[in-house]
Amino acid sequence: MSFPSTVLNTFRPDVLAMHAYVVQSAAGYIKLDAMENPFELPAHLQAALGERLGRVALNRYPGARVFDLHQALRTHARIPAEMGLVLGNGSDELISLLSVACARPGAVALAPLPGFVMYEAFARQTGMKFVGVPLTADFELDTAAMVAAVREHGPALTYLAYPNNPTANLWDEVAMQAVVDAVAANGTGLVVIDEAYQPFASRSWFDKLASQPHVLLMRTLSKFGLAGVRLGYMVGRADLIEQVEKVRPPYNVSVLNIEAALFALEHADEFARQAETIKAERERLMAALATMPGAKAYPSQANMVLVRVADAAGTFAALKARGILIKNVSALHPLLANCVRLTVGTPAENDAQIAALAELLREPL
Ligand code: PMP
């Protein structure tokens, strides 16, 4: 029996018009395109983790062990007992769950642009309207425009990635506070502060949470060194987090994720050392870029560096030909014209990245 060609029309027209998120193949390349921690676990920890994972009951659904992970995260991130905590399969899933929980007809999600693409993607998937507010030319929040947009649209969700992706900067605190206050003045709507890059940043919004009950804060173990494990978490006022819990699939974090995350938190000092190395390497990369006439590198508080060049597509292709994979972000937003995003790698990877860029970016911008 053949299906009628109209069967595709079962799907929503907006889904039919979407493109799936494409992960470019990185086999054989120095992979500097996705802000991963470039360091593997030391061999003795790999062996110990393997042994731990081997004993996990794969025949059982995730059970009480998830509460051990809650407790370990509370200790690790110093989350007060009265605050709510919800786990996601990566912080991507938390953005999805928040969107599901808030997407009533006409609801708006708002974020500065250029920004992390999944805020808009999940807003659209759940039928929310997305409002993007352009950053200033130097990638700061446009305070007046953000506050005006918050007043005009009354967003259910206002996202602030802190530091931002792909610009890698932390927002000015006064500007950020103005946005947080504008949402509070609406009397409804949440501010979601996304601290995915917190391991590499000099500031966090965490301590302000207790006095800002409409703010939720999201973090992830991905940039810490566990991008493959898929574990994100969100904290905030308990009765707000409780609503997100209601739309969370019961077993969204697998027994293997849970056990690997617990293991990593027991060895947090190892990952903290890696973060220190990554920050030092970031400074070395920045210093090298500063000597290249054809590069304008923007300040970074993350494990990535945004760089404006004369020809982003050409730079991307030339690096790829030398075996190095970065991200050409030019097409994401007009403010990113001819920008590429580099991830900070291992010292050897950065040597290769610096040597290739120095050769390519000799002509003044
Ligand atoms: N927030 C920001 C700002 C990001 O850049 C990313 C991933 N690049 C995420 C969230 C998603 O992280 P996760 O791996 O936890 O889904």
pLDDT of residue 22: 84
* Probe residue for ligand 1, chosen from 91, 162, 193, 221 as the CB with the greatest number of ligand atoms within 8 Å: 91
Please indicate whether residue 99, judged by its CB atom, sits closer than 6 Å to ligand 1.
Answer: no
Using CA positions, which residue lies closest to atom 5 of ligand 1? 165
What distance in Å separates the CA atoms of residue 100 and residue 122, rounded to the nearest whole number?
A: 8
Q: What pTM was computed for the model? A: 0.96
CATH fold of 57-267 reads Aspartate Aminotransferase; domain 2 (3.40.640)
Contacts of 223 (CB under 8 A, 6+ apart): 35, 36, 37, 196, 197, 198, 199, 200, 302, 303
End-to-end CA distance of the chain: 61
pLDDT of residue 3: 64
pLDDT of residue 1: 56
Span from the CA of 201 to the centroid of ligand 1 (angstroms):
15
Locate CATH 3.40.640.10 in the chain: 57-267
What distance in Å separates the CA atoms of residue 12 and residue 319, rounded to the nearest whole number?
A: 39
Q: What are phi and psi of 86, to 5 degrees?
A: -130, 140
Question: Which residues in 308-317 are b (16+ Cβ under 10 Å) and which e?
Answer: bbebbeebbe
Please indicate whether residue 36, judged by its CB atom, sits closer than 6 Å to ligand 1.
Answer: no
Locate CATH 3.90.1150.10 in the chain: 5-43+269-360
H/E run at residue 341: strand 339-343
Which ligand 1 atom is the nearest neighbour of the CA of 220? 15
Looking only at the bridges linking them, the beta strands covering 339-343 and 30-31 are: unpaired
Query: What residues pair up with 296 in beta bridges, in sequence order?
Result: 308
Span from the CA of 298 to the centroid of ligand 1 (angstroms):
20
Please indicate whether residue 166, judged by its CB atom, sits closer than 6 Å to ligand 1.
Answer: no
Taken in order 263, 267, 268, 270, is the CA torsion positive or negative? Answer: negative
Contacts of 328 (CB under 8 A, 6+ apart): 312, 313, 315, 316, 340
Using CA positions, which residue lies closest to atom 12 of ligand 1? 91
Residue pair 308/339 in contact by the 8 Å Cβ criterion: yes
CATH fold of 5-43+269-360 reads Aspartate Aminotransferase, domain 1 (3.90.1150)
pLDDT of residue 21: 86
pLDDT of residue 24: 76
pLDDT string in tens for the chain (365-residue length): 566 678 999 999 999 999 998 887 899 999 999 999 999 999 999 999 999 999 999 999 999 999 999 999 999 999 999 999 999 999 999 999 999 999 999 999 999 999 999 999 999 999 999 999 999 999 999 999 999 999 999 999 999 999 999 999 999 999 999 999 999 999 999 999 999 999 999 999 999 999 999 999 999 999 999 999 999 999 999 999 999 999 999 999 999 999 999 999 999 999 999 999 999 999 999 999 999 999 999 999 999 999 999 999 999 999 999 999 999 999 999 999 999 999 999 999 999 999 999 999 999 99
Report the candidate in 232, 226, 223 with the shortest Cα–Cα distance to residue 97. 232
Which ligand 1 atom is the nearest neighbour of the CA of 232? 15
